[in-house]
Amino acid sequence: MRGKILRLEPPLVMGILNITPDSFFAESRLRTDDLTQIKERAARLLAEGADILDVGGYSTRPGAAQVDPEAELERVIPVIALLAGAFPETPISIDTFRADVATAAVAAGAHIVNDVSGGTLDPEMFSAVAALQVPYVLMHMRGTPATMNTLTEYNEVTADVMTELREKIFRLRQMGVSDVIVDPGFGFAKTPEQNFSLVADLEIFHTLDCPILLGVSRKSTIVKTLGTTAENALNGTTVLNTLALMAGVQILRVHDPKAAREAILLTEKVKKIKL
């Protein structure tokens, strides 16, 4: 990260900053025209234990409205510039699938590119990341936010996701991208049962020889399984995050850093005894 090493032990917490009016979790929505509120939210995320701030201006929930590139840039670039100035020691991640947005965000002060499409929605993304030489979060997804829920046919979900990720990791390595973080894509082109299978199999993902990021925070699989709402899904989120931590996941992407930090502290205590 611009000459600094991003440590992964103990695991890191990535705090979510949604600069969009239609994120699935209403309490996480922020308006671009209120930079004071955004700075305050970022400060709170950091105070509660976030190590990384993840800024996104395009909701990728199923059925989310499309956002044109100009609007996405208008949402995220002022925010990234603000955060880079206000919190210069904090790594900032740009949550985008567009190469041009990623490039502009890094120029504005972002350090990490978090691509929910894993390079499938913009053929220029891999080249852009190779040129930028920043860590790249390669998430597994099929289709688009509008179509992904129809693309859940797998021979065996973990094996197929691993194969698709492995092929992309090879391409990225060939292009000179050395810092790849993998995200199995919980909730993206997977049924609830498939999402649970991925969590059960998380240890297998270490064979990809990349750090693992998991984003389960308040997602619909938890909501539907527990018969609750996103607003009341923190406990379910913490349960899955704890299982992920015990499987060796290195980064948790969350709305609630305090709960994630507590899960990390407690699981690290248990893991030390097991060793």
Q: Extract the runs of DSSP E, i.e. beta strands, from the chain.
A: 12-18, 52-56, 92-95, 112-115, 136-139, 180-183, 213-214, 251-254
**Residue 114 bridge partners (DSSP):** 95, 137
Q: Which of 142, 168, 218, 253 is catalytic?
A: 253
In this structure, what is the dihedral angle of CA atoms 226, 165, 275, 199, given to the nearest 10 degrees? 10
Q: Which of 219, 224, 261, 272 is catalytic?
A: 219
Report d(CA 273, CA 159) in Å as an integer: 31
Could you tell me the two tokens for 133?
Answer: 């030489």
**For strand 12-18 and strand 52-56, is the pairing parallel, antiparallel, or unpaired?**
parallel
Report d(CA 32, CA 75) in Å as an integer: 5
Amino acid (one-letter) located at 124: E
In this structure, what is the dihedral angle of CA atoms 90, 96, 97, 102, given to the nearest 10 degrees? -60
Report d(CA 188, CA 197) in Å as an integer: 13
Active site residue 219: yes
Active site residue 271: no
Catalytic annotation, residues: 219, 253
